[in-house]
Amino acid sequence: MSKPPIRPPPAAENAADVAQDLHALQALRDAAAGCRECPLGFRATQTVWGEGALRAPVMLVGEQPGDREDRQGLPFVGPSGQLLDRALAELGWSREAVYVTNAVKHFKFEMRGKRRMHKTPAQREAAACLHWLESEIEHVKPGAIVALGATAARQLMGYAVPVTAQRGHWLERQDGRRVLITLHPSALLRLLDDERADAYARWLDDLRQAGGLIGKRRPE
């Protein structure tokens, strides 16, 4: 399986700092590949680490890998990822310029016949994975973060966030980084066809709140 790339920042920066963070992220990804800190690691095909740009202006955090992500070892390559890619294109954001990851690094599922169906991670499973996410944030050093759904929001903020009430709004973490709250793209995929167009337009409006950061990098 090919590993998702971690790209150095395009802007000039202290080479030693960049090299240190790139090395640290590679080491973390290698360590996470053998993670068995919760039961999910025993059933999943593989750990799915994040991909994208170091010092990304925006980090997008989802819930967990899905079936295709689990098989390919890459984040957001299934139906939710395709919808996210469509949104990024319509917003004029380059996926290569952002960093995309999940709060939980293994696919949790239940079998229905021969199909592996998504199952929401338990809080203890998400908690076991939190240090991996926080380590990504520490070394990617994103300008801001977009929480895609309730699991991501809870992990990033440290408390339950009412996503429906807070969507489109910025919250601030203890480390000072801002977090934009919105829906996970899978929530749109579950809607009926006649509901999806309006919901998608509103979701784009949420994401657009972070548009001013694209092409910029917050000073550290």
Q: What is the pTM of this model?
A: 0.91
SS3 153: helix
Domain that holds residue 50: 14-213
Of 176, 139, 108, the C-alpha closest to 20 is 139
pLDDT digits (tens, 9 = 90+) for 29-55: 999 999 999 999 999 999 999 999 999
Summarize pLDDT for 6-18 with one digit per residue, the tens. 555 555 567 888 8
For 182-194, write each residue's pLDDT tens digit. 999 999 999 999 9
Residue 4 in domain: no
| Residue 218 domain flag | no
In this structure, is residue 8 part of a structural domain?
A: no
> What distance, in Å, lies between the first and last C-alpha atoms of the chain?
34
Any domain includes 146: yes
Query: Residue 16: CA atoms inside 13 Å, Cβ hemisphere, count?
Result: 0
Residue 2 pLDDT greater than 60, yes or no: no
Give the SS3 label for residue 15: helix
Number of domains the chain contains: 1
Q: Is residue 107 part of a domain?
A: yes
pLDDT tens-digit profile of 102-137?
A: 999 999 999 999 999 999 999 999 999 999 999 999
- The verdict on residue 219 lying in a domain is no
Could you tell me if residue 5 is inside a domain?
A: no
Q: Are 66 and 108 in contact (CB under 8 A)?
A: no
Tell me the pLDDT band of 207, cut-offs 50, 70 and 90.
Answer: very high
Two tokens, residue 198:
């309006």
| Domain CATH for 154 | 3.40.470.10
Residue 179, domain member (yes or no): yes
Q: What is the pLDDT of residue 52?
A: 95
pLDDT at residue 219 is higher than 50: no
Return the SS3 of 30: helix
Per-residue three-class SS string for 51-103: EEECCCCEEEEECCCCHHHHHHCCCCCCHHHHHHHHHHHHHCCCHHHCEEEEC
